Amino acid sequence: MNKTSTTPTPISLKCAVITISDTRRPDNDTSGDYLADSLQAAGHRCVQRTICAGDMYQIRKVFSDWIVDPDVQVILANGGTGFSHQKSTVAAVTPLMDQTITGFGELFRYLSYQDIGSSMLQSDAFAGVANNTLVLCMPGSTNACKTAWEGIIRDQLDSTHRPCNFGAGFHA
């Protein structure tokens, strides 16, 4: 908050977007585009962006690099959270977490249930904190990214959202 107002000052967060996919490329990464555009529209900055194949160790390398980078405060990951042998985001990222945010996955699946019914069981959306970096992982479809952004992420990155949010924990 500034000294002349009781209204908190919005904080622009430095974010990174990773699309985890064996088929997406820069010209067809609609989910990554949606997340990067949504961040910008909300007043945040997308300071890093990449597409990574579904190899657990490549995914872990990207996350590890971003987690130690002081210029990345938030990581938004899309893809690799489904229920199949090719989905390795959970296995790659969860060992890096210092703390999990169980409510993210629970709320995402609840919101998804309203759109896709019991197919929401196939999502391992999850979130946590690693080295003071907020990590939010969601499915790779653009509709799933919209569900996560509109139903959870937009408000939680907004440092003025009440009664609480993740954005206020970061400094401008």
Q: Which domains does the chain have, with CATH numbers?
A: 14-162 (3.40.980.10)
> Rounded to two decimals, what is the model's pTM?
0.92
The beta strand positions in 53-132, using DSSP E, are: 74-78, 99-100, 126-130
d(CA 150, CA 143) in angstroms, rounded, equals 10
- Strand partners of residue 33: none
Query: Kind of pairing, strands 74-78 and 133-138?
Result: parallel
pLDDT in tens, 95-123: 999 999 999 999 999 998 888 777 676 67
Tell me the CA distances in angstroms from 73 to 68, 118, 146, one per residue in order: 10, 33, 21
Element (H, E) at 16: strand 14-20
Please, are residues 99 and 129 in contact by the beta-carbon 8 Å criterion?
yes
The confidence band for 133, taking pLDDT boundaries of 50, 70 and 90, is very high
**Has residue 172 got a pLDDT over 70?**
no
In this prediction, residues 52-79 reach a mean pLDDT of 96
In whole angstroms, give the CA distance from residue 23 to residue 32: 13
C-alpha torsion 160→131→135→78, nearest 10:
140
